[in-house]
Structure 1
Amino acid sequence: MSRTTVELPALTRAFLTRPRTATLTTLRPDGTPHVTPVRFTFDAATGLVRVTTRAGARKARNVSAGGPAARVALCQADGFRWVTLEGQAAVTDAPARLVEAVRRHTARYREAPPTPLDLVVIEIAVDCVLSLNL
C-alpha cells in the first residue's frame, strides 16, 4: 500500500481534525456496500487514515476479503459541508501500528478507543479527496 502526502486546503485539514464521527463504506464479498459510523484519524503528511476496530467486525472482514485491491470511502459530514477520503485499505494487527492508531485516536477524541482482545487497525492510503463547501 503506497502512501503519499495529501495536499488539502487549511479549512479542509481543520475540518478533518474536529472530533466527529464519519461513515466508512466497505464492500461485502457479494459487492453490496456496508456503511458504518466510525471514529478515525487522518495524517495528511502520509495520506493515511486509521480506524481501530475488532478483527471480527464486518468492516474489517470486508477489507480483508478484498485483498490488496480493497478500496473504501470514508466521509465526514457536518450539514452541507463534507469531505470524502477514498483509497486502498488494509487491516493490520502489527503492535507498532496499533499503538500509533490508539495514540492518534486518543489525541483527537480525548479518550482512548475501545481495546478488545482482537483489536486491529484499518489503514487507508488516501488517493482521492472529494469535498463540498470547504
Structure 2
Amino acid sequence: MSVDPRDPDPEYLDFWRERHVCTLTTPRPDGTPHVVPVGVTYDPEAGLARVIASRHSRKVAHVLSAAGAGGARVAVCQTAGRRWATLEGVAVVREEPELIADAERRYAERYQRAPRPNPDRVVIEIALTRAMGRA
C-alpha cells in the first residue's frame, strides 16, 4: 500500500514510533544491495528518515561512494508480524554536530535509550521519496 511520506496515516506513523529494529539497504560499488540492521527515526514533517552510524562503517562508505552530487538511493524497512513499512529516498552523510545531536535525541526517544557515545558518529539523512507498508 502506498503512503504519502510527508502525510502518513496515524497507524503508519504510530508503527514508526514503536521500538523496532529496522534494516537499511544501500548500494555496494558493484550495484548489489547491502542490508544491515539499524535504528531509524522517521520525521514526516521534514520528509526525512535518519540513521546514526560510525563514519567508518560500510553503510556510510556505500552511501558516500554511491552518492555523487545527488545522493545515494536507499531504503529502510521494519516488520512486525503482518505489519511492515518501507521508506525510500536519497541519502547523504551529514557531519554537522547539531544534526548529529538531533539524530541522537530522536533515536533515544524512539528506542528509549541513549546511543552509546561515539566520537566518529555521523548521520545518514534520507530525503524521502516514497513510503509503503501495512501498519
TM-score range, shorter chain: over 0.9
| 1:81 is aligned to 2:83 | yes
1:118 aligned partner = 120
- 1:1-33 per-residue CA deviation (whole Å, 9 max, x = no partner) reads xxx971111100000000111010001111111
- 1:66-110 per-residue CA deviation (whole Å, 9 max, x = no partner) reads 122301000011112100000000001111100100111111111
Distance 1:44-1:97 versus aligned 2 partners, 3 A rule: same
2:28 aligned partner = 28
Amino acid at match of 2:73: R
| 1:41 is aligned to 2:41 | yes
Tell me how many residue pairs correspond in the alignment: 130
CA distance in structure 1 between the partners assigned to 2:111 and 2:83 by the alignment = 20
CA distance in structure 1 between the partners assigned to 2:112 and 2:10 by the alignment = 22
CA distance in structure 2 between the partners assigned to 1:74 and 1:114 by the alignment = 22
User: Alignment identity in percent?
Assistant: 42
Amino acid at match of 2:124: I
Q: Is the 8 A contact 1:22 1:76 kept in 2?
A: yes
Amino acid at match of 1:41: T
CA distance in structure 2 between the partners assigned to 1:72 and 1:15 by the alignment = 20
2:74 aligned partner = 72
Amino acid at match of 2:13: R
Amino acid at match of 2:11: L
CA distance in structure 2 between the partners assigned to 1:107 and 1:101 by the alignment = 10
Q: Is the 8 A contact 2:5 2:130 kept in 1?
A: no
CA distance in structure 2 between the partners assigned to 1:71 and 1:129 by the alignment = 13
What TM-score results when the alignment is normalised by the length of structure 1? 0.92
What TM-score results when the alignment is normalised by the length of structure 2? 0.91
Structure 1 runs (4+) deviating above 6 angstroms are none
Q: Is the 8 A contact 2:5 2:129 kept in 1?
A: no
CA distance in structure 2 between the partners assigned to 1:58 and 1:12 by the alignment = 29
